[in-house]
Structure 1
Amino acid sequence: MGSTESILELGYWLSGTDVYNNVWLPIWDVIAGTHNALFPFLPPLWTTNG
């Protein structure tokens, strides 16, 4: 769980920057999309595309 928290914290600090919009969000979408596909029985992670 610690790694997810650090990823979220990184996103918080980057939010509003070009790095956040162009790098962090696409990476997060891949992480979240993979999580949601592999673990449909767990609460879904938030993604930018719903």
Structure 2
Amino acid sequence: MSLIETAKQNGIAPEDYLRCLFEKAPYAETENDWEKLLPWNIEITPYKIRGEWI
């Protein structure tokens, strides 16, 4: 099963999951950090507008 389908199974909107994943993945260094990014472990944070698109 893909991460998208797993997110859906865990009641997470795929777009919210991917946004949080892409925001947090650059900071993952250990195996434990990566496990925290799986759909059943990740903490979905609210979207914050951070500026204008160029």
* TM-score scaled by length of structure 2: 0.32
Looking at secondary structure, tell me which structure has more helix per residue.
1
* TM-score scaled by length of structure 1: 0.33
The higher-RCO structure (CA 8 Å, 6+ apart) is 2
